[in-house]
Homo-oligomer: A and B are copies of this chain.
Amino acid sequence: MQRFVNHADFIVEDMMKGIEKARPELEILSENDHVMKLKAAPIASKVGLVSGGGSGHEPAFLGYVGHQMLDAVAVGEVFSSPPAQAFYDAFMSVDSGNGVACLFGNYAGDNMNVKMAVDMCLDEGVEVKYVVATDDVSSSPKETKEKRHGIAGGVFMWKVAGAKASQGATLDEVIRVAQKTVNQTRSICVGLSSCTIPAVGKPNFHIDEGKMEFGIGHHGEPGMHVEDLKSAKDIAKDMVKAVVDDLEVKADETLSVIVSGLGATPIMELYVLYNDIESELQARNINIDKVLVGNYVTSLDMNGAALTIMRMDDELHELLEVEADSMGLRV
Contact = CB atoms under 8 A, between A and B. Distances in A.
Q: Is the interface of A mostly helix, strand, loop or mixed?
A: mixed
A9 to B, nearest CB: 13
A59 interface: yes
Contacts of A270: 4, 18
Contact of A278 (B11, B18, B207, B295): B18
A235 interface: yes
A264 B264 contact: yes
Contacts of A2: 192-193, 207, 209, 212, 229, 303
A268 B58 contact: yes
A269 B22 contact: no
A272 B6 CA distance: 8
A276 B7 CA distance: 13
B271 A18 contact: yes
A15 B263 contact: no
Nearest to A288: B21
Given A18-B274, A22-B274, A264-B263, A269 B5 contact: yes
B18 A300 contact: no
A106 interface: no
Interface in A1-29: 1-6, 11, 14-19, 21-23
Most B Cβ at <10 Å: residue of A14, A19, A21, A271:
A271
Interface string A193-230: 10000000000000101001000000000000000010
Contacts of A168: none
Nearest to A12: B268
B56 A268 contact: yes
A181 interface: no
A291 interface: yes
Given A4-B272, A6-B232, A6-B272, A266 B298 contact: yes
A21 B272 CA distance: 11
Contacts of A272: 4-6, 11, 14-15, 18
**Top 10 A-B pairs ranked by shortest CB distance?**
A18-B275, A18-B271, A264-B264, A2-B192, A58-B267, A4-B269, A18-B274, A14-B272, A15-B271, A22-B291
21 contacts: A2-B207, A2-B209, A2-B229, A4-B270, A6-B276, A14-B275, A15-B272, A15-B275, A17-B275, A18-B275, A18-B278, A23-B291, A56-B268, A58-B266, A263-B267, A264-B266, A264-B301, A265-B301, A267-B295, A301-B303, A330-B330
